[in-house]
Structure 1
Amino acid sequence: MSRTPDPALVGLAQGWCALSALHGRIEAHIERALQAGHELSVREFSVLDVLSRQHDGEGGHLRMNQVADAVVLSQSATTRLVNRLEDRGLLTRYLCLTDRRGIYTDVTDAGRALLAEARPTNDAALGEALREASKRAELAPLVAAVESLSPAA
């Protein structure tokens, strides 16, 4: 006995596939640009970006689980990524003064310099990827939705 698929679920599945395709296209385009220009992966850029926004004071520093959530990686993958960035001299870690169990991670001067150098590449690649994706009928509405989130839009 065959069941007729629920049209609402079919539509959701198609929307999810389009969203996944858009994400994959954008991430791959940015990855190629960052690797070619700065020997930096999208995830490395994201970690540097997230950590560069930290500040002193209440809630100013992120724990590793917060970093993992921000860059959508498991805690173990985030730890490995932070280790690689620390080995490259882009990050440093230190104990929290108020909670000796807590370890904070800060971006070094070299990390901030690389982030500043890579940000225009990231932004340009994002723009290029969105322009290319907008030419595809199934992705154009999603591109429009993403663009509508920008304060400049």
Structure 2
Amino acid sequence: MTATDPALTALAQGWCALSLLHGRIESHIERALEAGHGLSMREFSLLDVLSRQHNGPGGHLQMKQVADAVVLSQSATTRLVSRLEDRGLLSRYLCDTDRRGIYTDVTESGLALLAEARPTNDTALREALDEAAKNPELAPLVSAVEGLRIPA
């Protein structure tokens, strides 16, 4: 079944095309990050999200916020954090004001790997979008993605 299959409703066709575009982009980036840096896309995303934290009130994310940001369950996020901690890319410590809270920070090694991997991620994204733009089913979605301007 393709995104333009007449048996699908217009809404289902759009969803099918979006899912196809996402899958192609994700697999292309995944291969590039694995080959170049030994990172999965989820690992890269987690390092990226956590690197944007800051110290002080409201500066650290709760595990649920991290899970939402990397689109994983809390248990899967905890396992991912543990794997990256074992590799020396993250560290965890207890919150000073709430002993139940655990913060996760990117280590210097993690920040260095993230900085190395970011251009690979960006290049792979550009390549995947350029390739997808050649497909008439995906070209409108690529244009929409390229036109997005998300406020900071």
Once the two structures are superposed, residues 95-117 of structure 1 have per-residue CA deviations (whole angstroms, 9 ceiling, x without a partner) of 11111110000000000000000
Local SS of the residue matching 1:94: strand
Task: Give 1:119's aligned residue.
Answer: 118
Equivalent in the alignment of 1:33:
32
Q: Which runs of 5+ in 1 are unaligned?
A: 1-6
Q: Name the amino acid aligned to 1:56.
A: N
Cα distance in 1 for partners of 2:148, 2:107 equals 31
**Same amino acid, percent of matched pairs:** 81
The number of residue pairs the alignment matches comes to 144
> Which residue matches 1:73?
72
Partner of 1:56: 55
TM value normalised by structure 1: 0.91
TM-score (norm: length of structure 2): 0.92
Aligned CA-pair RMSD: 1.3
Give secondary structure in 1 for the equivalent of 2:135.
coil
What is the rounded CA distance, in whole Å, between the counterparts of 2:89 and 2:98 in structure 1?
24
Confirm or deny that 1:141 pairs with 2:140: yes
Q: Which runs of 4+ in 1 moved over 6 A?
A: none
In 2, Cα distance between the equivalents of 1:66 and 1:31? 23
Corresponding residue of 2:17:
18
Q: Distance in 1 between matches of 2:56 and 2:101?
A: 15
Tell me the SS of whatever aligns to 1:62. coil
Q: Which runs of 5+ in 2 are unaligned?
A: 1-5
Q: Deviations over 1:34-87 (max 9, x none)?
A: 000000000000000000000012321011111100000001110100000000
Q: Separation in 1 of the partners of 2:55 and 2:107?
A: 15
